[in-house]
Structure 1
Amino acid sequence: MTHPVSQPSASGKPLLEVNDLKKHFPITGGFFGGVVGNVYAVDGVSFSIARGETLSLVGESGCGKSTVGKAILRLFPLTSGQVVIDGQRIDDLSAARLRPLRRAIQVVFQDPYSSLNPRMRVRDILAEPIINFGLARSRAEIDERIAGLMDKVRLPRDAVNRWPHEFSGGQRQRIGIARALAADPDLIICDEAVSALDVSVKAQIVNLLQDLQNELGLALLFISHDLAVVEHMTHRVAVMYLGKIVELAPRREIFAHPRHPYTEALLSAVPVPDPETTRERIILKGDVPSPIRPPSGCRFHTRCPYVFDRCRSEEPDLKPTGEGHLAACHLHDPAEAHRAKPAASVPV
């Protein structure tokens, strides 16, 4: 896998802006079936993505990262917050007004088989967004666009007459990418797009996404739990824990100098390519708390090896700890600089 091109300039207006996004799912129960609580799946997430940039959203399963992607796509109503695409706020639009703007944001799902209609040939799958968004006027133009899409994802043109079940998993994911490209989008959300693939196929899809980004100027929101893949294809990384972003920084900075204890623990679990090299593995105690009743103060304090009293009562803000590097941790408050980090790691 090759590293991405250098991060696009931060000057100018971002393509995507997410401001204080919240999505709480109500829990119903009781004798009258009323709301008895909420699942705080996403609870105040903010970030932006520039044109041509890849932002990776990482974290353990259940941290809310896929919910963020679905919220941006408006697959369900938001609890609160704003989603702005190319200067246009979309979270408060009606379905009719939102429809033409959906072209700008497309998605590649995790399972390349269940995300494709098994009753449609590849040609029809790719033609659907082209027709829906009025991107071609005649059958000849549609066929020309479809042929170009097959070339872009490196599949033979005559494969458009086949059914999804006739392809391998990696080939089906290429079709999923081609379908996303068919709408001529500005941003593609990749929701665990390579996690269901074999290692060698995974590398091919990652390289394909990078090549398409460089060729078409696409922005990518890459949602993943695989930090080894993220390291090879992103410009910036946002780390989520229990519905909140706890750290956000450029790729090199976050992998070399993580500023949040949770990020340190995640990175310590990434396999080291050199068998002669050992890495200090940080073992977190306990389980991830329930998003129905998140802990008070810092949400990570129940598992943090560096916890102190302030963490249990006061929620840390996501604030700068260096150039372009944000972290939500009281340890970076100058008043807490005297606190030494305990020995919470073991060699692996």
Structure 2
Amino acid sequence: MNADRPLLEVNALKKHFPIHGGLLGQVTAKVYAVDGVTFDIRRGETLSLVGESGCGKSTVGKAILRLFSLTEGEVYLDGERIDNMRAGKLRMMRKRVQVVFQDPFSSLNPRMRVRDILAEPLVNFGMVHGRRDLNEKVEALMDKVRLPRDAINRFPHEFSGGQRQRIGIARALAPGADLIICDEAVSALDVSVKAQIINLLADLQDELGLALLFISHDLATVEHLTHRVAVMYLGKIVELTDRRTLFAESHHPYTRALLSAVPVPDPTARRQRVILKGDVPSPINPPTGCRFHTRCPFVFDRCRVEEPLLRPVGDGHLSACHLNQVPGGQVLPTAA
């Protein structure tokens, strides 16, 4: 293990889904779900992947989990490439990378008691020695996610949505994961419950040194949990920076539009709302040049023909927009 190297590295990841048609079922088109995404996550860090529905953020999470093969790109876990890993070694990778899904009810077996749901990964990965050891570890998992031990024999339908998500988190913790991918893990919960789950994840991260890939469409949610934010649009990352910089000095017009829609606690505060025109283009036929140019209020000719690269615009701040640079590489001033 190299302490200086990120825990997870994703390099130029692409996932294109073929569309079959015709009498012979030949490939007639492709869905460019993810089209060249690069980022890393360090131990104990939370990186949030945000964007509108259909931007490809959940596909990125599933690709890291090896739920399907990649079209192109590389994924490294602790310096070891995992996107082409054989089945035997892949089993141990899955022990280190776990997932918490959006709908806690559909992700839990309704015919299994909580005891069996939490015991399953412990047994599968050979982490227990005897019934007593198993019971102690299952009870410890219940304590970690702040569920009463006497609920251990209940079925998933006997819990509330927030409690079911705690069970999902406990199951992800069971094999001793280093990285947990939270795929819209709080979007189906009420506001108060959502805050409790976010606080739980933050406490677990401090206690266990977990790394989190937090996938969400809600910037207001990620503001309270994340260290860095990667904003996605139509299969590409358009801005990546730390939380403070993103909310104070975002560069990309799409990021600013998302931020303008975030509710503010002060009802007297004024904010200029950015209304994006039109709909998100189809990932089957993405626009040429900048993929955001069909909706961008600052579009000019270069945007329609040349794709902007994700370039540095500050210390650790990357943005993919032609507006951020002028000839000579000078960064343009950001809007207030």
TM-score for both structures, normalised by structure 1: 0.93
**1:69 maps to amino acid:** G
| C-alpha distance 100-272 of structure 1, shift in aligned 2 (>3 A) | same
The reply on whether 1:189 has 2:181 as its aligned counterpart is yes
Aligned-partner Cα distance in 2 for 1:340–1:77? 41
Alignment match, 1:8? none
Alignment match, 2:29? 37
Alignment match, 2:264? 272
**2:158 maps to amino acid:** E
Alignment match, 2:113? 121
Alignment match, 1:232? 224
Q: Please show how residues 322-341 of structure 1 align to structure 2 within 5 Å.
A: 322-335=314-327
**1:272 maps to amino acid:** V
Query: 3-state SS of the aligned residue for 1:321?
Result: strand
Are the aligned partners of 2:324 and 2:331 in contact in 1 as well (CA < 8 Å)? no
Alignment match, 2:19? 27
- Cα drift, residue 327 of structure 1: 0.2
Alignment match, 2:290? 298
**2:78 maps to amino acid:** D
Aligned-partner Cα distance in 1 for 2:302–2:75? 33
The reply on whether 1:78 has 2:70 as its aligned counterpart is yes
Alignment match, 2:170? 178
Alignment match, 1:201? 193
- Cα drift, residue 334 of structure 1: 2.2
- Cα drift, residue 26 of structure 1: 0.3
Superposed CA deviations along residues 135-160 of structure 1, whole A, max 9, x for unmatched, are 11211111111011000000011211
Are the aligned partners of 2:47 and 2:227 in contact in 1 as well (CA < 8 Å)? yes
- Cα drift, residue 174 of structure 1: 0.3
- Cα drift, residue 89 of structure 1: 0.6
Identify unmatched segments of 5+ residues in structure 1: 1-10
- Cα drift, residue 289 of structure 1: 0.2
Are the aligned partners of 1:306 and 1:341 in contact in 2 as well (CA < 8 Å)? no
Alignment match, 2:278? 286
The reply on whether 1:136 has 2:128 as its aligned counterpart is yes
Find 2:82's aligned residue among 90, 95, 102: 90
Are the aligned partners of 1:268 and 1:281 in contact in 2 as well (CA < 8 Å)? yes
Query: 3-state SS of the aligned residue for 2:221?
Result: helix
- Cα drift, residue 339 of structure 1: 8.7
Are the aligned partners of 2:313 and 2:331 in contact in 1 as well (CA < 8 Å)? no
Alignment match, 1:3? none
Are the aligned partners of 2:325 and 2:331 in contact in 1 as well (CA < 8 Å)? no
**2:53 maps to amino acid:** S
Aligned-partner Cα distance in 1 for 2:123–2:333? 61
Alignment match, 1:5? none
Query: 3-state SS of the aligned residue for 1:281?
Result: coil
- Cα drift, residue 96 of structure 1: 2.3
Aligned-partner Cα distance in 2 for 1:194–1:60? 16
Superposed CA deviations along residues 41-83 of structure 1, whole A, max 9, x for unmatched, are 0000000000000000000000000000000000011111111
Superposed CA deviations along residues 265-298 of structure 1, whole A, max 9, x for unmatched, are 0000001110011110001111100000000000
The reply on whether 1:105 has 2:97 as its aligned counterpart is yes
Aligned-partner Cα distance in 1 for 2:239–2:258? 12
- Cα drift, residue 21 of structure 1: 0.4
Aligned-partner Cα distance in 2 for 1:138–1:259? 56
CA RMSD across the alignment: 1.6
- Cα drift, residue 341 of structure 1: 9.5
Find 1:309's aligned residue among 279, 301, 307: 301
TM-score for both structures, normalised by structure 2: 0.97
Aligned-partner Cα distance in 1 for 2:58–2:297? 27
Find 1:223's aligned residue among 215, 222, 229: 215
Q: Indicate the percent of aligned positions where both proteins have the same amino acid.
A: 73
Are the aligned partners of 1:331 and 1:337 in contact in 2 as well (CA < 8 Å)? no
Find 1:161's aligned residue among 141, 144, 153: 153
**1:109 maps to amino acid:** F
Aligned-partner Cα distance in 2 for 1:284–1:32? 41
Aligned-partner Cα distance in 2 for 1:242–1:183? 34
